[in-house]
Amino acid sequence: MSAQIAALLRRAILTGELEPGAQLVESALAISLGASRGPLREAMRQLVDEGLLVSVPYTGTRVVDISIQDINDIYAMRTCLEQFAFQQIWEQRDEAFKAELLLRNEALKAAIDQADDVGSIEAELDLHGLAYELAGNRILLNSWISLRGHLQMYWASHHRAHGMRGPKRESHDDYVRHALGPSLQAMQDELRDHMRRGLETTKAFVEARTQTKAEDS
Amino acid sequence: MSAQIAALLRRAILTGELEPGAQLVESALAISLGASRGPLREAMRQLVDEGLLVSVPYTGTRVVDISIQDINDIYAMRTCLEQFAFQQIWEQRDEAFKAELLLRNEALKAAIDQADDVGSIEAELDLHGLAYELAGNRILLNSWISLRGHLQMYWASHHRAHGMRGPKRESHDDYVRHALGPSLQAMQDELRDHMRRGLETTKAFVEARTQTKAEDS
DNA sequence: ACATTGAAGATTGTCAACAATAATATATCA
DNA sequence: TGATATATTATTGTTGACAATCTTCAATGT
């Protein structure tokens, strides 16, 4: 039960259905989910530990509001960890890996073509996830899952609330090309640039938004 | 309450007082701690999410038993993350950093001189922790805290149960020397070698132990 | 002797009521 | 009118009892 609730809430948070800053009241939620407060509390505690919720004693628990500083940190970690992942898998890339990578890039393009923004975000993260999955390091994979969750939440909420656009159709062609190419160093460089571009895009949107907001008031 | 319980249990696990594989029965623990099962469950769930306990539904929750594969993964991640941390702080190393690093190395030697094995383990991890703390990346720091916990538990339990020796007195002199030196590349190389040596030492002990165990039976 | 079934015990999962705390609104006084 | 003390309300924290599930062990039949 508590695992199902956790999954349900996690999905609601990650898709932006529950917006950052929204408070989750135990009694109300428990009733609407048809469960008791016990399992619900357990699920919420788990999401707190995953960094998706933040709880202050006797006051309430809310969906975290990720700061631009956090986004900076996340991108720095992504660069580091994804470079590491490719370093680990580089020699063992086989036909199955190449096929899967191309498949996920096609899935990303398909989601974009359907104007499915939440799906595009998921597809992009799935594409990046392949390297982590194949590295065979459980701890590395867990770190990625955590980073992935925060990015997904951030993007989804900004998309929903402020019209942030999803990824572009060709955005990962270079990524895939280098990932299939012969030079690990070239891939490392591409990763560094790819992340830099991604970070700049996100930052630019946030800054433009805060400026608009300032003009409104 | 639940936070205090979590801290208590965490300490017991990390010092090896609760050995890997030991089962934690809720009803018994709750009584011995003078609390109810509710807060205890919450604390245990948190430790599960930290990777210190593992829980199987309707059956029980135990202290995790880390495999040699996990140790491999942890050392690979350590190398990657600590190289990243030094990369981040390299330009901003100041007198305070140098003083603190030397201080922690002295603390390590003091603990070794007093034959305080659990303290030596903590001191070694504290020494390594400085770079993570100064990098100013919360996500990086959280990753380190998690890795640190697993290492501490592994070493402490092996020390307690099987007489594994703590770190040597001069083991981190090179580490400190390069960390204070002029060349980032030299520090990166030292980190790689340092981790390689640490991993080999740990592996050698574990293998010798399993061999002894096999001869016994 | 061996496998299979069933019952007993131990352990976790769930629930609803109660207690403790923090936030808010209200009344009182300077 | 403004500030302060107080009462109210909303929300989380805690507890003990009960239900669901797994494990173990014994009984039974082949």
Q: Which residues contact B4 (CB under 8 A, 6 or more apart)?
A: none
pLDDT at residue B217, as a whole number: 37
User: CB–CB of A120/A169 below 8 Å?
Assistant: no
User: CB–CB of A12/A18 below 8 Å?
Assistant: yes
Mean pLDDT calculated for residue range A191-213: 84
pLDDT, tens only, A125-139:
999 999 999 999 999
Q: Between chains, do A74 and B139 touch, taking CB under 8 Å as contact?
A: yes
Distance CA A196, CA A182 (A): 23
pLDDT at residue B155, as a whole number: 92
Phi-psi group of A163: left, alpha or beta (phi > 0 → left; psi -120 to 50 → alpha; rest → beta): left
Q: Which one is the CATH code of A68-216: 3.40.50.2300, 1.20.120.530, 3.40.50.620, 3.40.50.300?
A: 1.20.120.530
How far in angstroms lies nucleotide C11's C1' from the CA of residue B54? 15
Please state which CATH number belongs to domain B2-63: 1.10.10.10
pLDDT, tens only, A175-199:
999 999 999 999 999 999 999 999 9
Q: For residue A94, give the 3-state DSSP assignment.
A: coil
User: CB–CB of B112/B120 below 8 Å?
Assistant: yes
Residue A210 — pLDDT band, cuts 50, 70, 90? low
How far in angstroms lies nucleotide D9's C1' from the CA of residue A61? 19
Which segments of chain A belong to CATH 1.20.120.530? 68-216
Mean pLDDT calculated for residue range A144-155: 94
DSSP B169: T
pLDDT at residue B170, as a whole number: 93
Q: Is the CB of B2 under 7 A from strand D?
A: yes
Residue A216 — pLDDT band, cuts 50, 70, 90? very low
Residues 31-70 of chain B within 7 A of strand C, judged by CB, are 37-38, 41, 55, 57-61
Q: Which residues contact A147 (CB under 8 A, 6 or more apart)?
A: A74, A77, A78, A81, B139
pLDDT, tens only, A15-70:
989 999 999 999 999 999 999 999 999 999 999 989 999 999 999 999 999 999 99
Full DSSP string of B79-138: HHHHHHHHHHHGGG--HHHHHHHHHHHHHHHHHHHTT-HHHHHHHHHHHHHHHHHHHT-H
- Measured CA to C1', the nucleotide nearest B57 is C12
Distances B42 to A39, A55, A99, A142, A215 between C-alpha atoms, Å: 10, 13, 44, 22, 46
User: CB–CB of A82/A128 below 8 Å?
Assistant: yes
pLDDT, tens only, A80-132:
999 999 999 999 999 999 999 999 999 999 999 999 989 999 999 999 999 99
Which segments of chain B belong to CATH 1.10.10.10? 2-63
pLDDT at residue A164, as a whole number: 84
Nucleotides of D under 7 A from a protein CB: 10-17, 20-23
Sites in chain B below the pLDDT cut of 70: 209-217
Phi-psi group of A51: left, alpha or beta (phi > 0 → left; psi -120 to 50 → alpha; rest → beta): left
